[in-house]
Amino acid sequence: RKEVEQDPGPFNVPEGATVAFNCTYSNSASQSFFWYRQDCRKEPKLLMSVYSSGNEDGRFTAQLNRASQYISLLIRDSKLSDSATYLCVVWGAAGNKLTFGGGTRVLVKP
Amino acid sequence: GAVVSQHPSWVICKSGTSVKIECRSLDFQATTMFWYRQFPKQSLMLMATSNEGSKATYEQGVEKDKFLINHASLTLSTLTVTSAHPEDSSFYICSAMNTEAFFGQGTRLTVV
């Protein structure tokens, strides 16, 4: 089993719709959780950190469920510019380093 | 915010030659930097952890004699791909931790 797993998608989303997807991690000792966004042929950029209490940043909401060992990302009122690959990143999933999920591809269409 | 600069952004080299990639933290000191490789439609895979003033720590399956890492200062780490072959063609990205993980712009290496 992979340490961090994501549905690769693609999630085809009509503009203005809501999309949500999860990421599961295998090591219960994992310490910190992040969502990164990666555009094609570019470096990943931090979208948001994920906290147990859940956190929201504009149209983006992230949640952490430690009991079930997953994190989620919800995007409301999707924009065309939200089209990207969203990477689930976990610190501590396999030692003192970041472990990346395979990414979830989101395509927002008019 | 903190910035990590990586150079070159792309390089084409002949099979058998060596390529050096630089990674600099521009406004913070990084005792540790990370080197990743990303093949098309795949996620980032950690190759090695670069430690300032000491030897790098390589992930399982990564040849340390082929991917030479030098971290001579708190702001610079270099990755040298020695005797590159076409299968080494990939997107190489460095990262340094500050308040979060910051990534260089990546280097697209094509070996012909």
pLDDT of B1 strictly over 70: no
* Mean pLDDT value across chain B: 92
What is the Cα–Cα distance from B84 to B45, expressed in whole angstroms?
19
Residues of chain A found within 8 Å of residue B36, distances taken between Cβ atoms: 100
| Coil, strand or helix at B78 | strand
Subunit contact A46:B43, Cβ cutoff 8 A: no
The β-bridge relationship of strands B10-13 and B107-111 is: parallel
Strands B107-111 and B101-103: unpaired
Of B44, B49, B108, the CB nearest to A100: B44
- The minimum CA-CA distance between B92 and chain A, rounded to whole Å, is 10
Query: So what's the pLDDT on residue A97?
Result: 82
Q: Residue A91: helix, strand or coil by DSSP?
A: strand
Partner-chain contact B106 A42, CB within 8 Å: yes
Closest approach of A103 to chain B, Cα-based (Å): 6
| Residues of A engaging B, defined by a Cβ cutoff of 8 Å | 34, 41-46, 49, 87, 89, 97-103
- Is the pLDDT assigned to residue B69 strictly greater than 80? yes
Tell me the C-alpha distance between B109 and B112, whole Å.
10
Can you tell me the mean pLDDT for B50-79? 92
| Residues found in chain A | 110
Nearest to A85 by CA among A17, A5, A1, A11: A11
Q: Give the C-alpha separation, A33 to A48, whole Å.
A: 9
Residue with more model confidence, A97 or B50: B50
Q: Which two tokens stand for residue A35?
A: 């969502």
CA distance between the termini of chain A: 37
A103: chain B residues, CB-CB within 8 Å: 43
Report the half-sphere exposure of A18 (CA within 13 A, side-chain side).
7
Q: Which of A46, A100, A101 sits opposite B100 (nearest CB)?
A: A46
Contact A88, A23 (CB under 8 A): yes
Length in residues, chain B: 112
- Using an 8 Å CB-CB cutoff, list chain B residues near A102: 42-43
Do B94 and B34 touch, CB atoms closer than 8 A?
Answer: yes
Reply yes or no on whether the pLDDT at A62 is more than 90: yes
Calpha distance A90→B75 (Å, rounded): 25
Distance CA B19, CA B109 (A): 9
Residues of chain B contacting residue A99, judged by C-beta atoms under 8 Å apart: 46
* Minimum-distance CB partner of B103 among A43, A102, A103: A43
**Given pLDDT bands bounded at 50, 70 and 90, which one contains residue B2?**
low
pLDDT tens digits, B82-110? 999 999 999 999 999 877 788 999 999 99
**Mean per-residue pLDDT, B67-83:** 94
Core vs surface per residue B9-26: b (16+ CB within 10 A) or e = eebebeeeeebebbbbbe
Of the candidates A9, A88, A85, A8, which has an alpha carbon nearest to the alpha carbon of residue A41? A85
